[in-house]
Amino acid sequence: MAYLNFVVGGNPNFGGYVSMDGDASVPIKHDDTYRIQSGVHQFTIYTRSDAQRKVGQGASIVNSLFGSGGILGFLADNRANNAMGESWSFQASIYDDELLVIEIVSRGNDILSAPQYRVRQLDDEMIQEIEKLFE
């Protein structure tokens, strides 16, 4: 079994939202830990939830259908882009007895810089400590 852990600096209650391998995204908080299957995984970190991004995408489609010229169009496009937020994608290989640590720095409900990640090899003691979280 492999593990995933989030370290959120700044606002520990908001690290954005994560989607793994194209699944629906879930909120990220500091020290959230998950068991994951070994192998190569695609991660996308978002600043907005799936629902918020859908609203922004819908608004963007409407804006493009009806034109978005002038100041009102600029404001409408800006609102749609803000609703979609930002995203970062990366692929990571993680195998049995390894921990993928994703580090995020946030302020309020914004992510300040691109998330960073690293893979750590776990010894038996660390694995036992992590497994206690799931009991």
Q: Where are the alpha helices (DSSP H) in 2-103?
A: 50-66, 70-84
**Cβ atoms within 10 Å of 17's Cβ, excluding its own:** 21
Segment 99-119 mean pLDDT: 97
**Strand, coil or helix: 38:** coil
Name the phi and psi angles at 88, rounded to 5: -135, 135
| Strand (E) or helix (H) holding 132 | helix 124-132
- Residue 111, Ramachandran bin (φ over 0: left; ψ between -120 and 50: alpha; else beta): beta
- What's this model's pTM, rounded to 2 decimal places? 0.80
Question: pLDDT band at 33, cuts 50/70/90?
Answer: very high
Choice between 51 and 125, residue whose per-residue pLDDT is larger: 125
When pLDDT is cut at 50, 70 and 90, the band that residue 49 belongs to is confident
